């Protein structure tokens, strides 16, 4: 239990901000926090109202939008209390905010949105994520897999390079990779292949020529696409193809897969992105497990490809 927790705070329905029902647009995604913070491996850096560091250095982080549905709690004020006073208390203060999402089902629902986190911070807090997914969500009948639940992953532009030119090049490669190997990425990110209404393939970017021509400064925003690049001018892009995570093991393997792919698009050539063995060369066992289980079982990767990737696999140990 955090020592700085103010238990006298009364969480009301206003804590669940209704942005899908006409609420203030500034509450969406990374906006609307009481305090903007950038969570690094073992501390946080305070950010200004535009999510800029005071030292001018770029953010190199990940932001999660975890969509949940709940049939165990039928009152949204009670649900807000459970999140604010119990579940969010597992994590450092101010990491999460929550919003109501009318596109979800369940008696009550909420989209739990993090501030910007580094890869190291996420890994250092895997124990808290494990408790959230494996202990508290089941206890309150909170689900991340029913209906249209997903877990959108926002990626800071600076993850992809030190200059805007390098960032744009790598992000276009990611746009191409996800659409070129769409069926594999559905499985890799634990998306239900029968529920892709909110993360459809974008055929115009499934060719190298099409992806290279993508205008990242003027990409349309669509809740129906697998990739949202419309926030590139603000410093981030969004992977919408990621599915709802059924438990902690699923969450960890998905995040490790995202970490690996972000690194891969920085170092690989456009041509290499066509070769799955090169894309996943040097992955850790958590990524390989996802390839071997869901991807192989879905028929989107071969035994020969798995063998080639396994020969390069790195051993890394997290929860």
Helices (H), 71-151: 76-82, 119-124, 126-131, 137-139
Can you give the pLDDT at residue 30?
A: 58
pTM > 0.85: yes
Confidence band for 76, pLDDT divided at 50, 70 and 90? confident
Q: Determine the pLDDT at residue 20.
A: 37
Beta carbons within 10 angstroms of residue 209's beta carbon: 10
Tens of pLDDT, residues 252-303: 999 999 999 999 999 999 999 999 999 999 999 999 999 999 999 999 999 9
Per DSSP, 26 falls in state: G
- Average pLDDT in the chain: 90
Per-residue pLDDT of 162-171, as tens digits, reads 999 999 999 9
Contacts of 319 (CB under 8 A, 6+ apart): 126, 127, 130, 248, 252
Please classify residue 22 by burial: count the beta carbons closer than 10 Å to its beta carbon, then call 0-12 exposed, 13-18 middle and 19+ buried.
exposed
pLDDT value of residue 31: 64
User: Are 281 and 312 a contacting pair, CB within 8 Å?
Assistant: yes
pLDDT of residue 32: 67
pLDDT at 15 over 70: no
* pLDDT score for 16: 42
pLDDT digits (tens, 9 = 90+) for 139-191: 999 999 977 799 999 999 999 999 999 999 999 999 999 999 999 999 999 99
pLDDT (mean) for 50-58: 93
**CA–CA separation, 145 and 290 (whole Å):** 17
293: left (phi over 0), alpha (psi -120 to 50) or beta: alpha
């Amino acid at each position: 239990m955090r020592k700085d927790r103010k238990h006298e705070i009364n969480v009301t329905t206003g804590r669940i901000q209704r942005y899908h029902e006409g609420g203030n647009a500034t509450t969406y995604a990374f906006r609307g926090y009481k305090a903007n913070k950038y969570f690094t491996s073992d501390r946080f850096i305070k950010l200004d109202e535009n999510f800029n560091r005071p030292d001018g250095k770029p953010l190199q982080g990940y932001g999660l939008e975890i969509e949940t549905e709940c049939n165990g709690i039928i009152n949204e004020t009670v649900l807000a209390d459970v999140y604010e006073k119990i579940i969010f208390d597992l994590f450092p203060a101010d990491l999460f905010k929550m919003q109501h999402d009318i596109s979800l089902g369940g008696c009550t629902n909420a989209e739990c949105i993090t501030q910007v986190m580094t890869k190291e911070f996420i890994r250092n807090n895997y124990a808290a994520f494990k408790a959230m997914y494996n202990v508290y969500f089941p206890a309150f009948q909170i689900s991340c897999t029913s209906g249209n639940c997903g877990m959108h992953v926002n990626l800071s532009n600076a993850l992809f390079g030190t200059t805007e030119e390098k960032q744009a090049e790598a992000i276009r490669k990611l746009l191409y990779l996800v659409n070129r190997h769409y069926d594999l990425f559905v499985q890799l990110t634990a998306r239900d292949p029968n529920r892709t209404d909110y993360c459809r393939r974008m055929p115009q970017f499934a060719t190298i020529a099409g992806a290279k021509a993508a205008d990242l400064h003027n990409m349309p925003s669509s809740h129906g696409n697998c990739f949202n690049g419309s926030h590139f001018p603000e410093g981030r892009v969004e992977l919408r193809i990621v599915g709802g995570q059924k438990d902690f093991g699923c969450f960890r393997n998905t995040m490790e897969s995202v970490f690996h792919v972000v690194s891969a698009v920085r170092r690989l050539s456009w041509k290499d992105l066509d070769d799955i063995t090169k894309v996943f060369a040097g992955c850790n066992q958590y990524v390989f497990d996802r390839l071997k289980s869901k991807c192989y079982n879905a028929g989107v990767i071969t035994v020969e490809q798995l063998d080639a990737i396994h020969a390069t696999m790195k051993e890394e140990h997290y929860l």
